[in-house]
Amino acid sequence: MHILLEPTSHYPIYEQIIQQVKANILRGVVMAGDQVPSVREMSAQLTVNPNTVSKAYKELEREGVFVTYRGKGTFISEDVQELVHKREVKLLKEQAEQIVATAKQVGVTKEEMMIWIEEMFKEEEGEAHD
């Protein structure tokens, strides 16, 4: 599992770990049933305090992304793909609601927003083909 932390980010390290784990799952870098590094191994790999990694792992386990088997280790949950996808879509909808509310407040029309979204999708599609 590849995790890159951004020390200058305004997000705490443990939240960056959580988001990067989920991104690795969505991209298929790690799959359901894969074993994840121990807290000690991950903290050494990332050069962060083990308590920080432990906090991220506990949150991922609480969310059902990780499952820990006593004496065997921590693994990616079997239904993780659907679970992470649903959570990310829910978060995306919440963000879209905030954007639409702000757009209305500042006088941006639905048509303008749609044009921006179309342009952004085209840019992303163009980058994917490069």
Where are the chain's structural domains? 13-78, 81-129
pTM for the structure as a whole: 0.68
Angstrom CA distances, 108 to 42, 94, 100, 101, 111, stand at 45, 19, 9, 10, 8
83 pLDDT above the threshold of 60: yes
3-state DSSP: the chain helix, strand, coil percent, rounded to 5? 65, 5, 30
Instruction: Say if CB 75 and CB 67 are below 8 A apart.
Output: yes
Which H helix or E strand runs over 12?
Answer: none
Q: Give me the CATH topology for the region 13-78.
A: Arc Repressor Mutant, subunit A (1.10.10)
CB 63 within 8 A of CB 91: no
What is the model's pLDDT at position 87? 80
What does the alpha-carbon distance between residue 120 and residue 106 come to, in Å, rounded to a whole number? 20
Which three-class secondary structure state does DSSP give residue 37? coil
Q: What is the mean pLDDT of the chain?
A: 91
Structure-model confidence comparison of residues 62 and 7, the more confident one: 62
Taken as a whole, the chain contains a residue count of 130
Give percent above pLDDT 90 in the chain. 69
Instruction: For residues 34-43, give the mean pLDDT.
Output: 95
Instruction: List the single range of 49-53, 80-84, 88-92 with lowest mean pLDDT.
Output: 80-84
pLDDT of the residue at 26:
82
